Structure 1
Amino acid sequence: MIKRLWSKFSRRRRFQFSMLLVLIVVSSITEIFAVGSIIPFITILTKQSAVTDTEGYSVLAGFLYGMGIDPYRNALLVLTVLFLFAIVFSSAVRLLLLVAETRLAFAAGNDISVDMYRRTLYQPYEAHLVANSSDVVSGVLIKAKRMIGAVIIPVIRIVNAFFLLLVFFIFFINIEPLFFLVGVSVFGLVYALIGLSFKRKLLLAGEIENREHRQVMQVLQEGLGGIRDVILDRSQDFHVRLFADSDHKLRSASAQSTLLASYPRYFIETLAISAFALTGFLIARSGQAMTDSLPFLASIAMAVQRLLPVLQTAFQGWANLKSISPMLADILRSLETPVSFDLGEASEPIALRESLAFHNVSFRYQTSDVANLSEINFIIRKGERIGVVGATGSGKSTLIDISMGLLEPASGSVLVDGVPLSRRNIGSWQRSLAHVPQSIFLADATIAENIALGQAKESIDQDLLIQAAKQAQIYDHIRSLPQGFDARIGERGVRISGGQRQRIGIARALYKRADIIILDEATSALDNDTERSVMQSVESMSEDITVIIVAHRISTLHQCDRIIELERGRVKRICTYQELLNGG
């Protein structure tokens, strides 16, 4: 899975990871420099001649003489400064590595989150009909963020531990090969045995975390999304219990993963200290002078002090990778989800010049056993006001979704001025449409930003904004507000009335300069007086704009030129408003 994840990063990110690898190698070398410098430093504290008489020190002495320093009179000072420099330089490189790996890991995590969200938004509409929004939110916000600390950073630190172990091996194999090989074998065996015993538990904890992340998000969305009913039904305790149950399972699984990843540290530390004490004891019992062994012991102690945290971090990284593997599999599936067709930037809108026609259009949802629409045929001429009526389940919403290019007919075709809609021109067609649903999406932003939804505040056309508000008959209300167009309307428009909400939706459609405006039961939740007022806004629109009105109330359609009546997925008849009233 790591290989699959690597392929998802951009060329720039892969180059940055390659540069990080170079920094890891440099850091490992500086660690050896720091550990190695302790041997001459400790040696000179116990026996100066053992250092100054060596060939290596002669080379250093020649360099120091060139700088005007007497290396033999000031040998202790020279080696002390050298040791301190090695320690400081090594620490500085380690800090640089920490900063680089952290920033790069979070930047890579951002790439993953953005790509997951982009692929989600660019899916066909039918895919969104069957998708669970809790899965999407959990994936983009929680799983992708978790991946940073549980996949990217651990992999970096495992690589770091490998190179550090490699350079320590090269260093100590030339000093005390048997001692080092035995030590590495013992510690490696302990880590391997612990890892094998924990592997299954880590995978199980990861599966629980992955499942409960999604469940917790779903419980939150359902509780907050239906807060009105929750309060009226006094069902707060029920929703709290659902949340508590899922959250407890999630936290317990997370705690299990964390504990399993941390356990080896205490065994390894105890083993390392015991081994160090035993080594000192054996050297002392052998009769060997401690002054001769002290530098070696000091280097071992420092190497252990450097290696153990890195090895423990690497083990934790491995444990995290095991526990997060079910979640990583979900992330990779999201990243590998193909975009069926181009839903991005389109060319210029297709202007409706003559007509929109359905020719033998049929459609069936993947989850349906029967056709939702069958052999639909009609023509809508430019500038007409067309009504669409029918009982629940008659196919009204499906018809509208097909006309907007959100769903693709199973058979037949939709023609715009005689040209069939296809994947090549669907984006341009959608730019000429505006949809006003029953429940208008309103952001917690200003009125201006909601009318010009999708545009940055600074790029809003003020003249067009005012014109759209006037045509939607909401301009006078906006002017009466202290902040005018800059007034905030609250999350989901809680600070404005239902009629004002629908007028903002109409103003949004007019701001878009759409050729076709579709009112999809836009007034069904309004009272009669408010509906009448909103429909007056619709009636005042330019005759060049084609309007399609889906409604339950027949009275809503009294200004329509023609009305399409659907029944069980078929066109029952196309008639006038009066004919519909008369039943003829």
Structure 2
Amino acid sequence: MLTSGIAELVSLGAVLPFLALLSDPTSMWQQPMIRGLALLMGFRAASQLLIPATLVFASAAVLAAFIRLTNLWLNLRLAAEVGSDLSCEAYRRELYQPYEVHVQRNTSSVIATITSKTDLTVVGLNSFLQLLTSAFVSIALFLGLLLIDASVALSAAALFCAAYYLLSITARKELHSNSNKIAEALSKQIKALQEGLGAIRDILLDGSQPTYLQVYRHSNHIQRILTSKNLFLGVFPRYALEALGMVGIALLGSILVLQRGSGSNVIPLLGALALGAQRLLPALQQIYNSWVTLKGVSAAMEAVLSMLNQPLELSCISLQPVKSFKAIFLENIYYRYGSTQKNVLRGLDLVVHRGERLGIIGSTGSGKSTLVDVLMGLLPPSDGRLMVNGLDLHDPAHAELLAGWRAEISHVPQNIYLADSSIAQNIAFGVPPSQIDMALVKHAAAQAHIASFIEEAPEGYRSFVGERGVRLSGGQRQRIGIARALYKQTQVLVLDEATSALDIATEAAVMNAVKSLSHNLTIVIIAHRLSTVSSCDRVIRLEKGLIQAEGPPGASPLMMQ
């Protein structure tokens, strides 16, 4: 940046002698320093200086341009590298946030921050670097103009700086407002896209495309219009001040000719001042435009910085494996979501022994899934303790154990998420393709009673399932989810209504396969149908966050309700 300023100063400094040589070579030859230097280089007449002077001037101009271009390339490359790091770090921070943070957060806003708002942050960083470069260039050019004519330089600088300052005062409030509205509109656009594409089956049935299109069009139009306003606020002073500068040069030329009485004496000075102003004004304009851009993307930058400032769980920093356990103790567990005062779990006590098959039943909203999320270590109890091997997993002193405990759990939810990749990659979810154990994939698929379907497909385990498994039936998606859990070979398997999408025969086959698994595997099954938990060692019934009954399947009248 400093080099760019020096290059511009050298380039401007070469203008005055070059124009003087063009307008009056004899006068230049009479300058002792110029004549002595020329004689030293072998020149004997003023006419011989024209070509060397032209080459020097052209070289200075080309060198200045080369330095400016190099500086621009380096600035853009730096902003791109920083932008890549910001986006990846924002995504990393988001992935490592606690589960209870994710369940309270809008994914469209998160996606907008990691993608669109990070892009705007890179734009802001580019603008900041350009502002610094232009500031150095402006200072160098101003110093050069001071050496040429101090009074003119001071007057011009005062005029232009005052004009830009007044413009910035006028535009600041609108830019800040536009910035917030643009950031909000970006989040709404992604929300509209997610909802529209995610519910495409219902939209096609209902013919409600215009509704979703209107939501997207409204937020998109707001964002585009406000962006164009910010661009206009950044650019429009240039044209007014360029005209003002031209008028100023014309008036200055007339005044100098009237004062000095000779145009030949004025032309070199006027040319140098004109060239300096011609370069100074764009530099000042760039400073102002960069400031406008920074203000225009400030809300997006604040959102990115807020995401980057999210604290990471201690358990995310390192992992201590839980090699074995005798029992899982949930002691006096209370849990409530967010700031609500209503407890979903209310003083619940439960012991799950290693190798036990535990069934959990209860009406909708009784707290079954919340209980399992607490047991898996995803939700920290509002009160109470989750104990494994005599240690409280949510005690900061044992933070590494929490991540180790989570790694020992396989979870099959009611709604399986499938990536738009091969069946093998979906079963070995999260494992790099080169590290997938295909023998284990096939074994897990066979246990989940999905192997025959996969092997009959033309591509077999390399078959793609489509986004969210759109090419598969609900039962097929569910069985791939079960195979995924079995592939992990963990100590605890949690089935959260995992067989609800299966027909009775397939469910019976899958549950028989689950029953045949190693007795060292602890299995927790959430279900609505009693038949699903009929093979469990023990069943508990939840109501309003408390265990209302427990015992062998069907042993109590309460179990049958």
Q: TM-score range by the shorter chain?
A: over 0.9
Shift of 1:229: 1.8
Shift of 1:431: 0.8
SS in 2 for 1:439: coil
Q: How does 1:221-240 map to 2 (within 5 A)?
A: 221-240=194-213
CA displacement 1:271-290 (0-9 Å, x = unmatched): 11111121222233335322
Instruction: Please name the residue that 1:371 is paired with.
Output: 343
SS in 2 for 1:208: helix
Instruction: Please name the residue that 1:445 is paired with.
Output: 421
Of 429-438 and 37-46, more deviation after overlay is shown by: 37-46
- Give the counterpart of 1:392 among 354, 364, 370: 364
| Residues 549 and 559, structure 2, Cα contact 8 Å, conserved in 1 | no
Instruction: Please name the residue that 2:51 is paired with.
Output: 77
Shift of 1:378: 2.4
Gap change, CA 1:291 and 1:572, over 3 Å in 2:
same
Shift of 1:130: 1.0
CA displacement 1:400-443 (0-9 Å, x = unmatched): 00111011122222222333323331001011111111111111
| Residues 148 and 273, structure 2, Cα contact 8 Å, conserved in 1 | no
| Residues 435 and 520, structure 1, Cα contact 8 Å, conserved in 2 | yes
- Give the counterpart of 1:48 among 19, 22, 25: 25
Of 466-475 and 137-146, more deviation after overlay is shown by: 466-475
Give the Cα–Cα distance (whole angstroms) in 1 for the partners of residues 521 and 233 of structure 2: 66
| Residues 471 and 540, structure 1, Cα contact 8 Å, conserved in 2 | no
| Residues 502 and 534, structure 1, Cα contact 8 Å, conserved in 2 | no
Give the AA of the match of 1:395: G
Instruction: Please name the residue that 2:76 is paired with.
Output: 102
Of 394-403 and 311-320, more deviation after overlay is shown by: 311-320
Shift of 1:56: 4.5
Shift of 1:154: 1.5
Does 2:289 correspond to 1:316? yes
Give the Cα–Cα distance (whole angstroms) in 2 for the partners of residues 495 and 583 of structure 1: 38
Q: How does 1:343-382 map to 2 (within 5 A)?
A: 343-347=316-320, 349-382=321-354
Gap change, CA 1:558 and 1:297, over 3 Å in 2:
same
Shift of 1:294: 1.5
- Give the counterpart of 1:257 among 210, 213, 230: 230
Gap change, CA 1:475 and 1:274, over 3 Å in 2:
same
Give the AA of the match of 1:462: M
SS in 2 for 1:572: strand
Give the Cα–Cα distance (whole angstroms) in 1 for the partners of residues 110 and 265 of structure 2: 65
Give the Cα–Cα distance (whole angstroms) in 2 for the partners of residues 62 and 104 of structure 1: 48
Shift of 1:458: 1.2
Of 496-505 and 284-293, more deviation after overlay is shown by: 284-293
Give the Cα–Cα distance (whole angstroms) in 2 for the partners of residues 62 and 467 of structure 1: 93
Shift of 1:503: 2.0
Shift of 1:147: 1.3
- Give the counterpart of 2:463 among 487, 498, 507: 487
TM-score normalised by length of structure 2: 0.94
Shift of 1:94: 0.8
CA RMSD of aligned residues (A): 2.1
Gap change, CA 1:284 and 1:361, over 3 Å in 2:
same
Give the AA of the match of 2:451: Y
| Residues 336 and 343, structure 2, Cα contact 8 Å, conserved in 1 | yes
Give the AA of the match of 1:112: L
TM-score normalised by length of structure 1: 0.90
Shift of 1:213: 1.7
Give the AA of the match of 2:386: V
Instruction: Please name the residue that 2:92 is paired with.
Output: 118
Give the AA of the match of 1:111: D
Give the Cα–Cα distance (whole angstroms) in 1 for the partners of residues 36 and 67 of structure 2: 26
Of 257-266 and 212-221, more deviation after overlay is shown by: 212-221
Of 281-290 and 488-497, more deviation after overlay is shown by: 281-290
Does 2:67 correspond to 1:93? yes
CA displacement 1:470-527 (0-9 Å, x = unmatched): 3323233322222222211110011122222122212211221111110111122333
Give the Cα–Cα distance (whole angstroms) in 2 for the partners of residues 362 and 343 of structure 1: 24
SS in 1 for 2:400: coil
Instruction: Please name the residue that 1:11 is paired with.
Output: none
Of 337-346 and 156-165, more deviation after overlay is shown by: 337-346
| Residues 499 and 534, structure 1, Cα contact 8 Å, conserved in 2 | no
Shift of 1:70: 7.1
Instruction: Please name the residue that 1:202 is paired with.
Output: 175
Gap change, CA 1:59 and 1:324, over 3 Å in 2:
farther
- Give the counterpart of 2:220 among 247, 250, 253: 247
Instruction: Please name the residue that 2:440 is paired with.
Output: 464
Give the Cα–Cα distance (whole angstroms) in 1 for the partners of residues 215 and 448 of structure 2: 44
SS in 1 for 2:493: strand
Does 2:302 correspond to 1:329? yes
Give the Cα–Cα distance (whole angstroms) in 1 for the partners of residues 45 and 116 of structure 2: 59
| Residues 441 and 492, structure 1, Cα contact 8 Å, conserved in 2 | yes
Shift of 1:544: 2.2
- Give the counterpart of 2:480 among 495, 504, 521: 504
Shift of 1:389: 0.6
Instruction: Please name the residue that 1:555 is paired with.
Output: 531
CA displacement 1:285-333 (0-9 Å, x = unmatched): 3353222222222222222232222221211111122222333332222
Instruction: Please name the residue that 1:279 is paired with.
Output: 252
Instruction: Please name the residue that 1:171 is paired with.
Output: 144
Of 192-201 and 434-443, more deviation after overlay is shown by: 192-201
| Residues 362 and 373, structure 1, Cα contact 8 Å, conserved in 2 | yes
Of 257-266 and 165-174, more deviation after overlay is shown by: 165-174
Instruction: Please name the residue that 2:2 is paired with.
Output: 25
Give the Cα–Cα distance (whole angstroms) in 2 for the partners of residues 59 and 346 of structure 1: 78
| Residues 469 and 507, structure 1, Cα contact 8 Å, conserved in 2 | yes
| Residues 106 and 148, structure 1, Cα contact 8 Å, conserved in 2 | yes
| Residues 122 and 344, structure 1, Cα contact 8 Å, conserved in 2 | no
Give the AA of the match of 1:532: A
Give the Cα–Cα distance (whole angstroms) in 2 for the partners of residues 60 and 387 of structure 1: 99
| Residues 206 and 326, structure 1, Cα contact 8 Å, conserved in 2 | yes
| Residues 373 and 395, structure 1, Cα contact 8 Å, conserved in 2 | yes
Give the Cα–Cα distance (whole angstroms) in 1 for the partners of residues 157 and 440 of structure 2: 74
CA displacement 1:81-125 (0-9 Å, x = unmatched): 101111111111111011100011121122222222222121111
Shift of 1:553: 1.6
Of 569-578 and 461-470, more deviation after overlay is shown by: 461-470
Of 155-164 and 76-85, more deviation after overlay is shown by: 155-164
Instruction: Please name the residue that 2:503 is paired with.
Output: 527
| Residues 542 and 548, structure 2, Cα contact 8 Å, conserved in 1 | yes
CA displacement 1:205-245 (0-9 Å, x = unmatched): 22221222222222222222222222222211111122222
| Residues 393 and 568, structure 1, Cα contact 8 Å, conserved in 2 | yes
Give the AA of the match of 2:233: L
Give the Cα–Cα distance (whole angstroms) in 2 for the partners of residues 451 and 104 of structure 1: 40
Give the Cα–Cα distance (whole angstroms) in 2 for the partners of residues 71 and 405 of structure 1: 91
Give the Cα–Cα distance (whole angstroms) in 1 for the partners of residues 69 and 392 of structure 2: 61
Instruction: Please name the residue that 2:264 is paired with.
Output: 291
Give the AA of the match of 1:44: L
Shift of 1:334: 1.9
Instruction: Please name the residue that 2:553 is paired with.
Output: 577
Shift of 1:531: 2.6
Of 284-293 and 267-276, more deviation after overlay is shown by: 284-293
| Residues 330 and 385, structure 2, Cα contact 8 Å, conserved in 1 | yes
CA displacement 1:242-271 (0-9 Å, x = unmatched): 222222222221121111111101111111
Give the AA of the match of 1:388: I
| Residues 541 and 550, structure 2, Cα contact 8 Å, conserved in 1 | yes
| Residues 71 and 78, structure 1, Cα contact 8 Å, conserved in 2 | no
Of 264-273 and 479-488, more deviation after overlay is shown by: 479-488
Give the Cα–Cα distance (whole angstroms) in 2 for the partners of residues 310 and 338 of structure 1: 40
Give the AA of the match of 2:255: L
Gap change, CA 1:511 and 1:50, over 3 Å in 2:
farther
Shift of 1:28: 0.9
Determine what percentage of the aligned residue pairs are the same residue. 35
Aligned length: 556
Shift of 1:178: 0.2
| Residues 352 and 416, structure 1, Cα contact 8 Å, conserved in 2 | no
Shift of 1:344: 4.5
Instruction: Please name the residue that 1:341 is paired with.
Output: 314
Instruction: Please name the residue that 1:269 is paired with.
Output: 242
